[in-house]
Every structure is written in structure tokens, then in C-alpha cells.
Structure 1
Amino acid sequence: APIVLMDVGDNIGAGSSADSTHILAEAQRLGIEGYLQTLYDPASVQKCLEAGVGSNVSLKVGGKTDHLHGSPIPIGGKVRTLFNGKFEDHRPTHGGFRFYDGGLTAVVDTTDGHTIVLTSLRCGNTSLEQMYSAGVDPTKYRIVVAKGVVSPRPAYQPIAKEIILVNTPGVTTSDLEYFEYHRRRGSLFPFDRDADYLPSRQNQ
């Protein structure tokens, strides 16, 4: 059973980019094999389409929406699958959704033991059929990344050995100190750990 890492900073259902590469970069650095995740990257999907199933490709994936979610990561590998990205799930899912569309989707098995599912539309990791429909069995991996906090749980908790929340950088991070503030008032916890709240005169 895989360990499922929740990519908190790239919570797709909360409006994030769906292309954060922070965890992927760390997996590469540590030499982790048996790793699976999705990335929104229509440009890389198009390159896989041009190359064709079974072809070797060199890509720079993810990290293309903004500067908050990491940089594009170089990968090399073979295109395993191409499909239209439409799938249906009869099992319990977050919100009870049944029909999904990730757009044209490409699966790349990399030379360093990763499987990257590249989508052309932003599609949350709330259904295992996202993987099964692409010819990927998530139960066969050591590490599976699910972008979210709560919404992936109905799908991934039944197959997970353990679920770990990873507080990655990004627009949905739970670390409020990550952001740059321009109009924040002073003496506000948790930014000021010794914030002192005194009743105002008008409330006395």
C-alpha cells in the first residue's frame, strides 16, 4: 500500500495551480522510486502527443503557472498512455461527483522510477479512476501525491498505508507566514507571537 502525501499548498479544489513541483523536486533529490503524481501541463501533454505512445521524451514539467508553486522539473522517460481524460467513478468521492474531465492526458514513466500523469485541464485528485482510466494502478506505488487536504481522502484513504499532510508552499498553504502582506494591520497573531489585544475605548 502506498504512502499518500497531501500537497497542501496545491489544493486544486481551493483554486490552486495544479502544477506544483515542490514535492517532485524533493523526490528527485532523494532518489525516491515508485512515485506517482499528476501535474497540469498542457504544453507537455502536446509534446507527448506529438511523440506518440512508446516514444522517449525529454520534458520540463509543471511549475509554469506562477512563481509560487516551484519551477519546471526536467524529466526523461517513455510515454505509456495517451487518452482523452474523461472518466467516471461509481465509488464514494468528495462531493459525490461522478463524471470528470482532465482533458487530453499523457502518462510518462520516467527513467528515475516516477510516473507523472500530465493533464490538459485542472482536475482534482478526488477519484482513483483518474489513475485507473489512464492505465495506472496507484496501489502499486510507494509514494502517491494527492493535491488537496480533505477532498482526496474518500478516494485515497482506503488504499493508503498512511496519509501525510505536506505543508508545501503555494496559494493554499497553511503557513500564513509564507505570503507577502501589503495591508495587514499590526499586532496580529500569529504574525506577532506576542500580540497584545486590548479592548478599544469604544467597546468599554
Structure 2
Amino acid sequence: MKVFFSGLVTETNTFVPFPTGLKDFHTIRAEDVQQGQTFTDWSAVMQVFTEVAQARGWDYAFGLHATAEPAGTTVQSTYESLRDEILSRLETAMPVDAVLLDLHGAMVAHGYDDCEEDIVSHVRKRVGPDVIIGVELDLHCHVSQKLVDTADVICIYKEYPHTDILDRARDLIDLVGDAVEGKIKPTMALYDCKMVGTYLTPYEPMRGFVDEMFAAEGKDGVLSLSLAHCFPWGDVPHLGTKMLAITDNNPEQAAEVAASFGRKFFSLRHEVNQKQMSLSDALDTALAHESGPVVIADATDNPGGGAPSDSTMALRELLARGVTNAAIAMMWDPVIVNIVMSTEVGAKLDVRLGGKLGPMSGDPLDLEVEVVGIIPQMLQEFPQPGSAPLAYPCGDAVALRCKGIDIIVNSLRGQVFSPHVFTNFGIDISQKQVLIVKSTQHFYAAFAPVASKILYMNAGGALQTDYPNIPYQYDHRHQYPWVDDPFAL
């Protein structure tokens, strides 16, 4: 048996003004691996595929893996060049028995509303109807019926935060391997829940729903269950939450199971959507709490959803209130980082920080700061229970102190996954009353064990959750929350 695997991963926020270009992708090719480069962060899925293929004694070929931080619509030539390179490397590796693709599920390029649907269609044309195609997707994906019809197996992360990326990769390659070996015949069905939202899996009733999916897998012919949450800031025709079921050679059962779980999820629609506090209420609650650190997610300026990560609203309010026992991370401002990298710890500077990417970022802040830390090419870790944590680059990073507030500023736009963004600088987070992190939920896994309380805040950034008032170009008014019961229409 021979398997080919590659990846192309980014999430597109069609409402932000800065595009995703070729320079934004971190790309690892087969020749890079041969020269000793290792799979890190999102590309660690390729390591899982490699290890399983080796353990099963399969022949395998790796093409490339490219990933970019979420941003605006991908430049057409960028997408096409990466797609075509994957296809070219696939053609070189053929004949193959299976193709494994690590994709996101919410990539949009100029001329392509659904890049994943497009690339899987091109793969199918090249390999023919008999080769098994398996796809791993982020749960913030747009899943079309065409994608389900074209692929053989789709596995989607179940957890938000995404602490199961590598587990789902193992699920995918196991199912694909069993399909090639004739042990199973996957049949997939998709159910439209007619919802748009953001759902956090550590909290009930989401926790119970995810656990029910796990419990049903491997029983009575059910091979896999996935909930595609959707990515609300990707304006595509098929935006919305979908339930996916895979059964063993039983399409009718797949449709029944997908519908059963999908209807149950729809019944939870008033309870599962993320609730966010205003900036004022979040700080009032945090400062009144009896102990720290209270962790506040600056959810609407999360670069993991394509936001700039240079919003100044939360920091401005901390300063206005005279808060002196707080820290905030990570402000994306490569100009300031470049200036500070030329100084040293202890230097005192006047800086104009943040607020550079547009109205969603607020106005820049003119601050007098002291440099308390400088770390070239800083890393942070994203926990993956049962596996080694994934290491994510932050670029050059600096810690600035202004009136008792520690401000972490970095050069490579990316969200906060770990307390490392503070502790790497020697900041004792246990002594802070308030920690503000630019993330929607991925911070949760590493911060929950150390936080006295966790709050989710809407400080007026780019990722607004009042979905009916987002200026979508496509018509999504047939879904909740535009209407309470779309199935009654």
C-alpha cells in the first residue's frame, strides 16, 4: 500500500482588509524534511501520518505542508501555486492507494469560495474513483455536500480549544487504512443544522454533546462523528453548522445518525453560543474578584480568527482605570518590536503602540514604557493531551511595562496559547490580578489550571458575534440566529 499526504491550512476572514499572500505561508516540502527540518505547530499532523505509515509498513510520499495565520482573502495566484504544487507532487508519487490531506475547511481565495472543495476535486480527477481520499478539517470549517461527495473520509476536530488535532489525524489515517485494506467501506452523510455560531466545548451543554459523539463511535457500524461548527467570519454560500456521520457501508444509517445528532444540536441553539461580556463589565468583574489571576479573553481581537491583534481598547481602559497589577498579550506591532530589539532591558522609551490596522484596532497609544524583556524568536506551546505539545513561533517578542502593566508585543501575528507568553519574561502571573489574552478559546487549555476565573470579552474588535448585523454579501437569513426556527420556514 502507498499513501500520499500533504497539507494546505489557513482560515479566511473575508471581512478584514489585509490579504493572505505567499509570504504569509510557512511551507515545508519533502526536500526540507530530508535535510532535517522537523514538523512543528500545525504541520505536526504530517508527523502523525508518517509515524502511522511506518508502523503499518506502508510506502508513503510527503509532498508539502503550507500554513498561514488566519487573515483576509488569499491571493488567487498564491492559492493556485500551492494547490498546483501539491497536485504536481501527487502526480510524481502516483500510483497511490490513498491520499491524506490536512486542510482547514475555511480557506477562501479570490475566485474560490471554497478552496478545500476545489483542491479535493482536483485530487479526485487525478487519482480516479478508486483511490481513497481522506481529509482532516478544523472544526471552524465550511463543509459542502460536494466535498462530502468527493472525499471518502472526513475527520473534523471535536474540541475547542483544538487539543485533539493529532488524535483526529490518527483517526483519519486509521479509517483510510482500513478502507484501503477492505476492512470497512465508509459512507458519509451531512446534516445542515441551519445555525451560525461559536461553540466552546469545555462548557455544558457542548461538553456533553461532544462526549456523546465519542461514545457513539465504534458502535453499531458508526465509524466517526463530527460537528462542523462553521467559521462565522467567512462569508461563503454554504456558511453554517453541519453534522457529519460516517458509517460502514450503510448510507441510510449515516443519514439517520447525522440527522439525529444534528437535530439534537439544533435543540441546544439557545444555550451553546458563546456569551461575551462588554469591556467595562469584564474589567469590573475581574477587579472585584477576590483573587487572581482572572484571565480575560480579548476574543474580538483574536488573530486566530483573522483579527489584527493590535487593538488598543482593552489596554487603554486598564490605563484609564489606573490598574497597576495586570498584563496583556500579545500586541502585534512589528515596528515597535524592531525599535525595542535595538535597545536593552531597562531602557525607557516613548512609543506609539498598536491601532495601526484600521478602525477595528482603535487609536494608537502614546506611552512611556520601560523595557523589561527581549526574546528573539520566542516560542509558546499549545497542549495536546496524550501527545507532545505543539510549539508555535511568536517571532521576536518584547515585554514593556507602563504604569504597572506588563505589555507583551510581538512581530509575528498570532494568538495566545500558553502562559509562556508571560512567564518566558519572568513575569509571575500568580501575582497578577488581571491577565488579558488575545485569543477566543485556544488559551483555555493552558490557562484554565492557573486561572482563578475566566471571562470572555467583546472589546469592540474585528470578530463581532452579533451575526445578523455583520454585513454578509451572501444571504444567511434562513438560519439561526436570524430566525429562531429555520426548519419551520
Q: Name the TM tier (shorter chain).
A: 0.7 to 0.9
- Indicate the SS of the match to 1:82: strand
Gaps of 5+ in 2: 1-291
Letter in 2 for 1:53: V
Please name the residue that 1:31 is paired with.
Answer: 322
Q: 1:146-165 counterparts in 2 under 5 A?
A: 146-165=437-456
TM-score if structure 2 supplies the norm length? 0.36
Please name the residue that 1:10 is paired with.
Answer: 301
Instruction: Give the deviation of 1:198 after TM superposition.
Output: 7.8
Question: How far apart in 2 are the matches of 1:159 and 1:198?
Answer: 45
Deviation digits for residues 176-202 of structure 1 (CA, Å, limit 9, x no counterpart): 366445665889875799x99984xxx
Please name the residue that 2:459 is paired with.
Answer: 168
- Indicate the SS of the match to 1:50: coil
Aligned partners of 1:33 and 1:142 also within 8 Å: no
Q: What percent identity do the matched residue pairs reach?
A: 23
Instruction: Give the deviation of 1:161 after TM superposition.
Output: 1.1
Counterpart among 405, 418, 437 of residue 114 in structure 1: 405
Instruction: Give the deviation of 1:78 after TM superposition.
Output: 0.8
Question: How far apart in 2 are the matches of 1:105 and 1:21?
Answer: 18
Bigger shift: residues 138-147 or 184-193: 184-193
Please name the residue that 1:125 is paired with.
Answer: 416
Question: How far apart in 2 are the matches of 1:135 and 1:26?
Answer: 25
Question: How far apart in 2 are the matches of 1:187 and 1:151?
Answer: 30
Matched, 1:135 2:135: no
Letter in 1 for 2:457: V
Deviation digits for residues 59-111 of structure 1 (CA, Å, limit 9, x no counterpart): 1111112221212112212101111133254x83599742121111111111x
Deviation digits for residues 146-172 of structure 1 (CA, Å, limit 9, x no counterpart): 122221101111111111111122221
Please name the residue that 1:202 is paired with.
Answer: none
Aligned partners of 1:93 and 1:127 also within 8 Å: no
Letter in 1 for 2:417: T
Matched, 1:52 2:344: yes
Greater helix share, structure number: 2
Instruction: Give the deviation of 1:134 after TM superposition.
Output: 2.5
Question: How far apart in 1 are the matches of 2:468 and 2:300?
Answer: 13
- Indicate the SS of the match to 2:442: coil
Aligned partners of 2:300 and 2:440 also within 8 Å: no
Letter in 1 for 2:429: P
Please name the residue that 1:71 is paired with.
Answer: 363
Relative contact order, higher structure (CA 8 A, sep 6+) = 1
Question: How far apart in 2 are the matches of 1:14 and 1:170?
Answer: 11
Gaps of 5+ in 1: 200-204
Distance 1:87 1:71, change over 3 A: same
Aligned partners of 1:5 and 1:164 also within 8 Å: yes
Question: How far apart in 2 are the matches of 1:196 and 1:151?
Answer: 31
Distance 1:96 1:179, change over 3 A: farther
Structure showing greater radius of gyration is 2
Question: How far apart in 2 are the matches of 1:64 and 1:102?
Answer: 19
Aligned partners of 1:10 and 1:173 also within 8 Å: no
- Indicate the SS of the match to 1:87: strand
Total equivalences in the alignment: 196
Question: How far apart in 1 are the matches of 2:318 and 2:377?
Answer: 26
Question: How far apart in 2 are the matches of 1:24 and 1:50?
Answer: 24
